[in-house]
Amino acid sequence: MTFKHFFIFVVLLVLCTTRILAQGYELKTIVIDAGHGGRKPGASGAISTEKDVALKIALKLGAEIKSQLPQIHIIYTRTTDVDVDLYKRAEIANNAKADLFISIHCNSMPKGKSYVDGVETLVAGSHRLQEQDAAIRENADIKLEKNYKENYSGYDPADPASFIMLSLLKNTFRDKSIGFARLIQNNYVNNYKRTDRGVKEQGVLVLQRCGMPAVLAEVGFISNPTEEKYINSSKGQEEIVGCIVDAIKLYKKNIEVK
């Protein structure tokens, strides 16, 4: 599916789902996406790479959801160190008719800013073009994919105009995505006093293509030595997973209409 064809798909999707979303729905299927993978390592720290940290947390997240919410079906976009194209990650969720999409990532800053720390959760949107650093970084993987110009026809990950075009797609699932993202952030801050970098609307391609509420969780800065150790530790990963699972439970309660 090309980028242009995707717009047609979204228009039809909006027409089909607006009434359903307004009435509420049951949370049955969650897709968990471990960012990057294979020849796409993502950001790197002193002792780890983003792809490895994301995979460990994603697998622990799925296991904990199964333990606490066994009625929910969990689907992973990857369970090993493999390369999954961005459009295929969203395609997996769309084909499964998932009710929620959660992508796990690590944040990063350039050299000289290793002191920056904290958590932020991204949802699909454009917001201010000068604040698209995370989106540009996460979307850059598409240039490593085969036939990326065909699969993402009309989209340039470094072109702000692409973010403006993508912003037309965000509104269908915007409120639920933001609501879920805020629950995650609140848990990070209230439970473990993590630095709150907020919920941000950005032009992250994998989220824009998802036909359901979707978030990208930046669980910490791999470029910060202290935070890198935390997100690699069993304790840190358990706390991160706990925050997300607790958010899922409250989100489920809020959206389900009996």
pLDDT for res 2 = 52
Position 158 scores a pLDDT of 54
Residue with the bigger pLDDT between 213 and 156: it is 213
Rounded distance between C-alpha atoms, residue 61 and residue 143, angstroms: 29
Quote the pLDDT of residue 146.
53
Q: How far apart are CA 116 and CA 49, in angstroms?
A: 17
Q: Is the pLDDT at 140 greater than 90, yes or no?
A: no
β-sheet with 73-76: strand ranges across: 73-76, 29-34, 100-107, 214-221, 119-124, 196-202
Full-prediction pTM beyond 0.85? no
Q: Over 90: is that where the pLDDT of 161 sits? A: no
CA angle 229/232/238 to nearest 5° reads 115
Mean pLDDT, residues 125-149:
51
Task: Tell me the C-alpha distance between 177 and 212, whole Å.
Answer: 8
How far apart are the C-alpha atoms of 122 and 32, rounded to whole Å?
15
Is residue 102 over pLDDT 50?
Answer: yes
Domains of the chain: 3-255 (3.40.630.40)
